[in-house]
Copies of this chain bind each other. A is one copy, B any other.
Amino acid sequence: MTRRLSQARERGIPEATVARLPLYLRALNGMAERGVSTVSSEDLAVAAGVNSAKLRKDLSHLGSYGTRGVGYDVEYLIYQISRELGLTQDWAVAIIGVGNLGRALANYGGFVSRGFRVAALFDADPEVVGDHIAGLNVEHIDELEAVIRRRDVSIVVIATPAAAAQQVCDRVISAGVTSILNFAPVVLSVSDDVDVRKVDLSIELQILAFHEQRKADRMSGGPVMAEEWPKSVDLSISPDVLGSLGSVPSVRPTDDGEAR
């Protein structure tokens, strides 16, 4: 049995599983607060919004922490998941770009709790540098490398305008950071020892719009399977197609939805 456990933890928890562990953790914390001490995969799955077989398989990647016929011990699971996610240490986070979004993030409560600590704020605008936000001084971006090293920042949140993001990204990487959460609407190019995760408002909205449109089609149009496009079978783009494109309030202009 020890055999199987070490095998399980050995190398590599599937990425899909890693992405769900925080959900389980949150659900478990809620239960712990409500005084629940034991939970079945079924109940925990419901609380986390997943299928219970999936939950069991996910947990089995961490080890065999349940008790057959009983369920999982809430506190113990919390500890194991926290440990696996690296939340038993705390991580110094820097936020770069203190515009609307950066400010909101700095003040965001759920940040500070749970193993993350905002350790530095940066901006390029002399107007903002020196401001006091969420108990922190906004530093000038020139200090980036020095401060990151000094305060041992290991995770950086990029909340700059799109145009600045790649440059900022390169600089934090050269300062030794390998984990980046990017709010700017650009694809950052990095070498593959660097982890980038991206949060992108307009992409999420566009995905919703796609499905919303589908639903609308299904209602009115029914399964009509309407004609393909405005008939211009060859590639030449007839002026009126582009015209109709232009007349839509903003199909193309300024994608650079600034992240600040």
Contact = CB atoms under 8 A, between A and B. Distances in A.
Contacts of A51: none
A52 to B, nearest CB: 14
Copies in the complex: 2
B49 A189 contact: yes
Contacts of A185: 26, 110
B228 A19 contact: no
B113 A212 contact: no
A172 B93 CA distance: 35
A191 interface: no
Interface in A79-101: 79-80, 82-91, 93, 100-101
Nearest to A211: B195
B105 A103 contact: no
A19 B27 CA distance: 27
Contacts of A195: 208, 211-212
Contacts of A241: 79
B187 A155 contact: no
Contacts of A9: 228
A202 interface: yes
Given A6-B225, A208-B155, A178 B215 contact: yes
A244 B23 CA distance: 23
Contacts of A85: 206-207, 209-210, 213
Interface in A172-199: 178-181, 185, 187, 189, 193, 195, 197, 199
A73 B235 contact: yes
Interface in A233-254: 233, 235, 237, 241-242, 244-245, 248-254
10 contacts: A5-B228, A79-B245, A86-B212, A108-B259, A109-B256, A110-B185, A110-B257, A114-B250, A116-B209, A117-B249
Given A112-B250, A179-B208, 17 more contacts: A19-B203, A21-B206, A25-B206, A25-B255, A32-B252, A48-B187, A84-B210, A85-B207, A108-B259, A109-B254, A115-B250, A116-B209, A154-B212, A155-B208, A179-B209, A181-B205, A199-B201
